[in-house]
Amino acid sequence: MAKVDNLTTKVLLAMILGAIIGGIFNLFLMQVSFINEFMVGGVFQVIGQIFIKLLKMLVVPLVFVSLVCGVTALGDVTKLGRLGGKALLFYLFTTAIAIVLAISIANLIAPGEGFDLSSTTTQEFTPKEAPTLAETFINLVPSNPIESMAQGQMLPVIVFSILFGIAIMLAGESGKRIEQQFNDYNEINMKLIGILMKFAPLGVFCLIAKTFAMQGFDVFQPLMGYFITVILTLLVHAFIIFPVLIKVLSGLNPVIFLRKMRHVQLFAFSTASSNATIPINMENAKNNLGVQNSTASFTIPLGATINMDGTAIMQGVATVFIANVYGIDLGLGDFLAVILTATLASIGTAGVPGVGLIMLAMVLNQVNLPVEGIALIIGVDRLLDMIRTAVNVTGDSAGTLIIAHSEKELAHEVYKQ
């Protein structure tokens, strides 16, 4: 526990310092070419990107190895099916709650009403093709697992790892030998995460300082209503909905959960990527929340890939905002379509920065809202992306905790520490 607090404090201090220095650079010093080119575009950029790459470097080996270990530790396929079913149900259910909450709060606050389109400098937005639902299903299965690993596509890697793990379970003596080796690899991966964490405060400092130096504060003013509505809803979801779900579904004390999630949230915030946060989230689930590897290794990467409550919230508020700005009335049927599409879209949203905005195009299309509306909000999206990613990963852990508890795979003495 002391270890976690220590890391949290260091990362938090690094973030605050990064925000202050980045903010000062943005206000006064960006014209100075030394600051602009050498510090922000040079040092901060290089160290920040190296840090993100180090995190990402771990994701594929970690997910593959620990998922194989997780499956073999479960010991039977029925248990795996039950775990998968519960995870899917929980993740889709909470995403649907998130979007209903977002639409309700956005309708109350009504951001974008009386919005003057000329008051904001819009940026270009060319929507990329969002995958169709049929493609999303077909793409679950890799035709070449190495290719999926190389491209960092999580769902096909998860499917392959599960099948590989099942085969090990069924392979008798040879399976036993390989299982032991995978357990050893897993230990080594955990050590690697430990080494990386030493570098975390510096990496986080550079990422935050660069974001604050680049992101001017004036872009926020015309979009204040939208910005505040998204943040408010994210906070309600993280600090009211998740704790209530944890209390009701597992009886565990949610305050402990929130305390132990702090450093994971800081990482998600700094990297704006659920995928890059998988190693930290998994380590936290095992070592601090007390979840067994067989559950965490499965539910955390799955959640990072398909469970995006924070993203769904942004999409719900953005839909209402864009409808208001363009003076288009949405009926109940439209809202139901938004709920359904955004929930399904979250399955296809990769856990990397900015993808939520691309998937928003799919939601807007569904209810015939102008996709160009995305250009209005793109300027403030970076900061919102950071905050919603913190909510996304909190949802993955909340689900993991509840499922582990229901499967009797939670070490209560570790959780309470």
Compare residues 200 and 384 and give the one whose CB is closer to ligand ASP: 384
Q: Does 272 bind ligand ASP (CB under 6 A)?
A: yes
- Please report how close the Cβ of residue 131 comes to ligand ASP at its closest, in angstroms: 15
Q: Considering beta carbons, is residue 285 or 355 the nearer one to ligand ASP?
A: 355
* C-alpha span between 53 and 11 (Å, rounded): 18
Give 182 or 242: the residue with its C-beta nearer to ligand ASP: 242
Indicate left, alpha or beta for 19 from its phi (over 0: left) and psi (-120 to 50: alpha). Answer: alpha
Which stretch, 108-116, 290-298, 335-343, 346-354, contacts ligand ASP (CB under 6 A)? 346-354
CB of 415 to ligand ASP, least distance (A): 25
Q: How far is the CB of 179 from ligand ASP (least distance, A)?
A: 32
Residue 62 neighbours by CB under 8 Å, 6+ apart = 189, 193, 278, 279, 282
In the complex, the smallest distance separating the C-beta of residue 271 from ligand ASP, rounded to whole angstroms, is 8
Region of 352 (left: φ > 0; alpha: ψ -120 to 50; beta: rest) is beta
Residue 376: Cβ-neighbour burial (10 angstroms; 0-12, 13-18, 19+):
buried
SS3 410: strand
Q: Minimum Å distance from CB 126 to ligand ASP?
A: 17
Q: Which of 355, 367, 374, 380 binds ligand ASP (CB under 6 A)?
A: 355
List phi, psi (to 5°) of 291: -85, 135
Nearer of residues 74 and 322 to ligand ASP, judged by Cβ:
322
Is residue 396 at the binding interface for ligand ASP, with CB under 6 A as the rule? no
* Separation of alpha carbons 129 and 135, rounded Å: 12
Q: Which two tokens stand for residue 319?
A: 């839909």
Member of 354, 368, 412, 416 binding ligand ASP (CB under 6 A): 354
Contacts 24+ apart (CB under 8 A), 47-51: 47/202, 47/203, 47/206, 48/203, 48/206, 48/207, 48/210, 50/203, 51/199, 51/200, 51/202, 51/203, 51/204, 51/206, 51/207
At 203, list the tokens.
């990496």
Instruction: Show contacts with ligand ASP in window 36-65 (CB under 6 A).
Output: none
User: Segment contacting ligand ASP (CB under 6 A): 9-17, 210-218, 329-337, 354-362?
Assistant: 354-362
Candidates 143-151, 321-329, 371-379, 387-395 — which segment interacts with ligand ASP by CB under 6 A?
387-395
> Is residue 274 within the footprint of ligand ASP (CB under 6 A)?
yes
The one among 96, 352, 375, 378 contacting ligand ASP by CB under 6 A: 352
Does 356 participate in binding ligand ASP (rule CB under 6 A)?
yes
For residue 251, is it left (φ>0), alpha (ψ between -120 and 50) or beta?
left
Q: How far is the CB of 64 from ligand ASP (least distance, A)?
A: 20
Helix (H, G, I), strand (E, B) or coil at 1: coil
For ligand ASP, give the closer residue by CB, 153 or 389: 389
Specify the DSSP element, H or E, that contains 403. Answer: helix 381-406
Q: Note the residues at the interface with ligand ASP (CB under 6 A).
A: 272-274, 308, 311, 349, 351-356, 385, 388-389, 392
